[in-house]
Structures are given as C-alpha cells and as structure tokens.
Structure 1
Amino acid sequence: MMADNSNQPREYDAVLGGQSQIPIAAAVLGGIAGVKQRLHSPSIEPRMAAVKDAPKYGEAGLNLAIEALLDPAPEVQRVAYLVLRQRTEPLVGQALKDFVPYKLFDCIRTVKTGTNVAISPGGERTASLHGKIIRICDLETGERLYTVDKYPQAKESFVLCQESEVFVRSRNTPKHRAIDIWQGGELLHTSLGHEAEITTIVISPDSQVIASGSADTTIKIWNLETGKLICTFGSLLTWKAHKAGISSLAFSPIAQTLASSSSDGTIKLWNLRSRECSQTIKGYANCLAFSPDGQTLAAGGWDRNIKLRQLSNPDNPIILAGHFNSINAIAFSPDGATVVSASADGNVKFWNASTGEHFHTLSGHQNSVTCLCFSSDGETLISGSLDKTVKIWGVH
C-alpha cells in the first residue's frame, strides 16, 4: 500500500495543465503546495477556498489556516476562524486564544421584545415588558417560560439569575418601594425597606444575594433565597457612606466586593465580609463593571466616556472615548482582554482593555442600547435596546 503523503494529489484535487481555469474550491496538484499558492492569490475568493481546504492536509494545513487569521481581508479571517473553531487540536486552541474574534462580529439574529429589557448573565434568557405583562423567555428558542403581571402604576426594572428561573423586580410607586423575588412565575418574597425610589438592583454572581441602591442614599443587601435584609450601607452609622442617591451597582466576580456609584461624585468599594467601605474613588458613573479577575473597574458616564481603573492605582484611568451619548452598560469579555460598551447613541463599541484602543463598532439598533452581556463561552454578545429588540452578535 502506498504511504499517505500530503504532497500527493487527492480525489478532490485539480490537476494543473491545459488552458482550463482552476476551480475555486479545488486544490491544485501537489496538495498543500497548491493551498499555499492560492493563499497568496491577490483575490479574496481563492484565499477563502484555500482556508477551507487546508485542514485536509493535517497539521501542516492547520498551520496554514492559523496563518490565515492574520490575512489582511476580514472575509478570509472570518473563514479561518469558523474553520478552526470546530477543531480540538491543542495548536488550534492556542491560536484561537491569541486571536480576537470580536473585530469580526456582526448581527446574527434579531429578536423582538418589549420595553425594560433585561438579559440574564450568559444570555440564556430575557425579560421584557409587553403592555401589562412581563414575559420571561428563552432567547435561543423564543419559548415563553412564564409571565408576571406588571404592578399597577409602578416604575419597574428587572434582573435575572444566571442558572435558574429566578426573576427579581424593583417597583416604585408613590407609596411603596419594593423588591419582588419570583421563581418560575411564582412570587416568593416581597422585600421592603427603601424610603425613596429604588434606582438600581443587581444579583451576585453566585446567586446568593441581591444589592439594591436607592435615591434615599442607601444600599441594601438582601438574601435572595429568603428575601430578608442582611445589611444596609448608608445608614447614619455607616462610615464613609454615600451622601446622595445611588446610580449604579456591580458585584466583583467572586462576590466579595460591591462597587457603587452615586450622584455625590464618588465611586465606593464595599467589603461584603467586613461590611465596610474599603475604597473611595472620585468620579461619576451611571454603569459599572468588574473585569473577570476583579482587578479593574470600568465606569461609564453621562460624559460619553468609559474609565478603566486598576484598583491598585485608581487615579490614573485609561479613558475610552468615542461614543456620542451617555454610556448605559459595560461588559468584559470572559478572558478580560476586551471591554464592550453600550450607549444611548445606539452603538456598541469594542475596546482593548489593556491599551484602550477602539477596534470595532456594532451599529444595528435604532435606539438607545440599555443592556448587554457575553455568552458564557464568549463567542456571542447579546444586547438589548429601547427599540424593543435584542440582538445576538457573533461570527457567521
């Protein structure tokens, strides 16, 4: 039996000779040498076809596909990424780890929703208001999981847990400020305590507690399972408490620190174990996000900028400028190398977290983008907007 040789023609190869044009999808005689030849073509189509053929030639072919990730044409990079994403070889895994696919992101799918859109961490579920009904839906299938009635004449906002059907709602009426905890359409608890409008609510990454911020200047920590109040930051007995209403909250990845921003012009870090303010940073922000390692805090504001602060040196932030309106939401990629911002200008922008360089903009929403998150694997980004849509972005 003849030994396998990657330089020998295969059944899908085209043989050079005569005047016939080489089919775009065919490899030329000589196997991998023909793939190399087409990868140097001045035309994009032969290079794209060559990348698709390259894995047929073993490790040497995979190396060519990896090299194509650096092709000057985004179309060729996209084909290379999609081809390699299906592979399990270690050399491919390392190459994809070093590659930034977000510059190739485009809209994969648009889902019609209602107002007050919320997206669960990881992007599996959405909640949105449709008239007098709040619908909680599976984003992948579109299935309506359950519904919750809107509270009459209340201003409401929603958050969702990552891995369960828990839905948390803040509701503000002239007489009451409450937090409702639902699971699978059943109301489990109603928590009362704030003396003015609840302006922001977040669930800890471990789904153990809820943090709520209010115009009454306080931050309250609640047990998610029981709905009971654990502690309050901002009472008269709290040292270094905020002096004005709370604008935004964010938990660190391991849920040991809570960041808060206030209209008093400060951002504070709260140690949830000692229940003390561990750090105060000067600055305004209406959205906050921690990096996956918990060492960087991103803050977006009405000034249209995002500030990336190393918490060990918060006085020298990296400033990300480029939006035309206020920043509504920020997310870090799972590897922490990329920051994504959503703005009232309707755009979503990608930034290098180390250098602050802007490298991609997604323009598809027709109104302010209010929320966003990455899928757990980082391969898609999900954004929600006042245009009553949720968009899924990725490489396709």
Structure 2
Amino acid sequence: MANREHLSEILDRILSGSQTEEDIAQLRRSLSADNLQIASQLGRYNVNIGEGKEIHIGDRIYQGADAETIKEALQAILQEIQLSVKQSKPVFWQYRHTLRGHTDSINAVAITSDSKTLISTSDDKTIKVWNLNPPKLLSTLPKQKDELLCVAIANNNQTLVSGDKEGNVQIWNLQTGDLITTLPKIHKRLIHSIAISPDGKTFATGSANKTIQIWNINPLERLYLTPKQEAQINVVKIAFDSQTLISGDDQGTIKIWNLLTRELLNTLLNGHERSINCLALSQDGKMFATGSSDKIIKIWNLQTGALLQTLNQEGGSEEEGNTPINAIAFCPNSQIIVSGSEGNKFGFGKTRIYFGGSIRIWNIKTGTLLQTRSKAHTSPINSLAISSDGQVLVTASKAGSMIIWQRAQT
C-alpha cells in the first residue's frame, strides 16, 4: 500500500484530470482495503468526522454519513475518472501543483506582469505572496481586520491595492510587504472589485453601495465618485489606454466610461440576464469578455459595444459544469479564453454534497468549447489568473486552495 503522501499526490492528479493508469489502479486498491486507508489522506482530501458526524473529504461535505457512505462516494469519483479517461480530447492546460496556506475562501488572485509572483486574498483576512517557479509561499502580509475580497497589482510590480468587506482600501508596497496606507470606509459597503490603470497612475473601486470611485495614486486623492447606479457594482476594469473604464453590475448591465472626461460612453442594458460576476480584457485592447450567473460568457467590442460572440454552456447539466461563471481570463496572444464556474450542491436536510467548479477552455473566434475540466476544484472556483507570458493558469477555490496549471506544449 502506498504511503499517505503518495496517495495524496495521486488524488491531486486524479481530481485535476492528470492521472495515469497506475494512479487509477492505486486508488482502486486503496478503496478495496477494508480499513479504508484512503480515509487517512492528508491535505485536500483529508477526511474529518465532526461531532455531528458530518464528514469532510477535502472540500466536499457529507452530513449524516457513515464510513461506508464515504467509501461509496470515493468509488463514484473513481467511476467518473474512468469515464473521463475514455474521452480523448486535446489538453491545453496540465495540472502542475496545489498551493495551500489560506484557512478560508480565496476571493481573488493576480499574477505580476513578469509572470513570477502570485498574489492571493482571502476571507482569512490575509494577503499571501507566492513564487510560481518553483511554487512556494514567499510571505504573508500583515493580517487585516476584515475579509479581503479583491486585489490589483500595478504593472511596475511594486504597488498593490486591496479592498475588503467593510469598504476599506489598503495600499501596499509589494517589494517590501509594507502597508503604505489604509483608506477607511471609502465605500459604505463591501468592495467587490479593484482595477489599476496600466500606466499606474489611477485605480478604480466598484462597490455593493452601487458606486464607482476613481483615485489618483501619487499624490493619493480621490478624483471622482460616480452617481449612484441602479445595482451594486460587481466588477471594474481599466482598458489598456488607461482612459476607459468598464463596469458590470448585479443586474447584468455593462457600462463604459471615459476616465478623463468622466463621461458615460455606453450602457449595455441586459448585457446578461443575471448578475455579471467577472470581466476580462483582451491583450490587444479591442475586446472584453463578461461572465455571468446566467451561465453565459459574452465577448464585446470595446469601442462600439457590439456583441461579437456568445459562449453558451446550455445543454450540460450542473454536474457537468453548467453553473454560474465566476472567473474569466484571456490567454495572451491567442484566441483562447478560460472560464471558471461556481459548481453546485445538492441534497436535503442534513445530507448535502458540494461539488466544485469546472474550468472550460474556449475558442472565442469560433465559439467552440475546446476543453472541460469538470470539478477541477472540489469547491466553487472564485477567481483565476493567467500569466502575461501565457504559460501559467492559476485557479482559486472557496475552500482555500489554489491549483497551478501549466500550458501544454501541444
């Protein structure tokens, strides 16, 4: 029987879709053991039995279940794996490593412009700084008073701006790890999103209080507060000209603003039928993409506001990944976009099973779905980021783990 560390590595590979035939055989042997040695795994797949007999397998929670139920659940996972192995599809991203360190939901991730460093923010009130190659934790910035919901990194890789649940903004020196200043309660409610302009001169905040603020970084001063909008602002991005701001709100409306004149240039009413959860800009600055709770991704022309493409998951079940879109990113120098989904939960009473979000790879020119990694995490995918060199994809989960994916050579 393989040792616990080895089995943990096997489960990492299996749940990320990078398993070998020997991995599957090893899992089957573990499942057939009467003493359920698989239940002693460390890390993501650690099994804990609480006082109420709820059982946690990594990010999955089984309430009111006994050991035999857990064994059956693991066998069901194995059956899923064997089914997926039979499907031969091109691989665009391969599992590389799992990062653990946060103790609560990871709400946002960002990668520095040199593709070397990853930043993560969490409900555990910390910001962590990670090295991507080799993958390891470099530092944890001073703990804050409130849950940290969003983060942005300036292109100079020195200025870091974060926002929290109580409407506070923190400005950090990423090189030293020092907190430069805190802007207390600039919004009356939580800050969903922060964006720094590519020229590094300004940043924007979008809040649940239905307003957007624009700030000058040096000297630090507020330049503009938008009138109160119709719905809470879920996401803001600043285009590569550092003059155009795009916002998405809780009612599915997209707005495009001129930061210099403060003029509202375009309003795309009913851009989505439900909340806009994420927004990404193409590298050439001509397009942007929005992902929504309506389970659809749309590609837009930034200049005209015209709808260019609709990436529709309709037709798949929730278990197959057809759930709200929480995160999207364009892959640099390509026609590829990557999305991360919410995942789902089902059950009733004390018995509830939580399944994680899926990663989907799309060709935005043809609208073709190129690759799906169902349940890439065993909890919802809250955020994702792609390095500027296009080689690394990082996905972050509600359970507090992150996965590093490497771009496949093929």
TM-score normalised over the length of structure 2:
0.63
Relative to structure 1, the CA distance from residue 132 to residue 298 in structure 2 (aligned partners, 3 Å threshold; closer, same or farther) is closer
CA distance in 1, matches of 2:283, 2:92: 23
**Deviation, structure 1 residue 107:** 1.0
CA distance in 1, matches of 2:152, 2:300: 27
- 2:164 matched to 1:171? yes
Relative to structure 1, the CA distance from residue 194 to residue 128 in structure 2 (aligned partners, 3 Å threshold; closer, same or farther) is closer
CA distance in 2, matches of 1:135, 1:304: 30
**Deviation, structure 1 residue 312:** 5.3
Provide the residue aligned with 1:320 in structure 2: 311
The 5 A counterparts of 1:99-118 are: 103-114=91-102, 115-116=105-106, 117-118=108-109
Relative to structure 1, the CA distance from residue 246 to residue 128 in structure 2 (aligned partners, 3 Å threshold; closer, same or farther) is closer
Task: Give the residue type in structure 2 aligned to 1:348.
Answer: I
Relative to structure 1, the CA distance from residue 233 to residue 133 in structure 2 (aligned partners, 3 Å threshold; closer, same or farther) is closer
Relative to structure 1, the CA distance from residue 355 to residue 313 in structure 2 (aligned partners, 3 Å threshold; closer, same or farther) is farther
Within the candidate set 382, 385, 398, 1:373 is matched to 385
The 5 A counterparts of 1:1-40 are: none
Provide the residue aligned with 1:95 in structure 2: none
- Counterpart secondary structure, 1:377: coil
CA distance in 1, matches of 2:157, 2:246: 24
CA distance in 2, matches of 1:204, 1:111: 29
- 2:374 matched to 1:382? no
The answer for unaligned runs of 5 or more in structure 1 is: 1-100, 236-241
Relative to structure 1, the CA distance from residue 206 to residue 143 in structure 2 (aligned partners, 3 Å threshold; closer, same or farther) is farther
Within the candidate set 187, 203, 208, 1:194 is matched to 187
Provide the residue aligned with 2:329 in structure 1: 331
The 5 A counterparts of 1:113-124 are: 113-114=101-102, 115-116=105-106, 117-122=108-113, 123=115, 124=117
CA distance in 1, matches of 2:305, 2:157: 35
- Counterpart secondary structure, 1:306: strand
Find the structure with the greater CA-based Rg. Answer: 1
- 2:235 matched to 1:244? no
- Greater mean alpha carbon deviation, residues 335-344 or residues 378-387: 378-387
Within the candidate set 213, 230, 248, 1:220 is matched to 213
CA contact (8 A) 1:289 1:299 kept: yes
Task: Give the residue type in structure 1 aligned to 2:364.
Answer: A
Within the candidate set 174, 181, 186, 2:171 is matched to 181
**Deviation, structure 1 residue 102:** 7.9
- Greater mean alpha carbon deviation, residues 131-140 or residues 281-290: 131-140
CA contact (8 A) 1:337 1:354 kept: yes
CA offsets 1:236-290 (integer angstroms, 9 cap, x no match):
xxxxxx2221111112123221100123442100111211111111224111112
Provide the residue aligned with 1:394 in structure 2: 407
Provide the residue aligned with 2:55 in structure 1: none
- 2:140 matched to 1:147? yes
Provide the residue aligned with 1:359 in structure 2: 370
Task: Give the residue type in structure 2 aligned to 1:330.
Answer: I
Relative to structure 1, the CA distance from residue 102 to residue 228 in structure 2 (aligned partners, 3 Å threshold; closer, same or farther) is farther
- 2:233 matched to 1:262? no
Task: Give the residue type in structure 2 aligned to 1:197.
Answer: L
Provide the residue aligned with 2:38 in structure 1: none
Provide the residue aligned with 1:59 in structure 2: none
CA contact (8 A) 1:339 1:352 kept: yes
CA contact (8 A) 1:191 1:228 kept: no
**Deviation, structure 1 residue 165:** 4.0
CA offsets 1:356-382 (integer angstroms, 9 cap, x no match):
111112343222122222222212322
CA distance in 2, matches of 1:132, 1:308: 34
Relative to structure 1, the CA distance from residue 369 to residue 264 in structure 2 (aligned partners, 3 Å threshold; closer, same or farther) is closer
Higher relative contact order (Cα pairs below 8 Å, separated by 6+ residues): 2
TM-score normalised over the length of structure 1:
0.66
CA distance in 1, matches of 2:196, 2:394: 18
Provide the residue aligned with 2:223 in structure 1: 230
Relative to structure 1, the CA distance from residue 273 to residue 289 in structure 2 (aligned partners, 3 Å threshold; closer, same or farther) is same
**Deviation, structure 1 residue 303:** 0.8
CA distance in 1, matches of 2:220, 2:136: 28
Task: Give the residue type in structure 1 aligned to 2:390.
Answer: G
Within the candidate set 202, 208, 219, 2:201 is matched to 208
CA contact (8 A) 1:120 1:159 kept: no
CA distance in 2, matches of 1:113, 1:119: 16
The answer for unaligned runs of 5 or more in structure 2 is: 1-88, 314-320, 344-356
CA distance in 2, matches of 1:380, 1:151: 29
CA contact (8 A) 1:200 1:247 kept: yes
CA distance in 1, matches of 2:94, 2:389: 17
CA offsets 1:193-247 (integer angstroms, 9 cap, x no match):
2233222222223332221011222100112344321212226xxxxxx222111
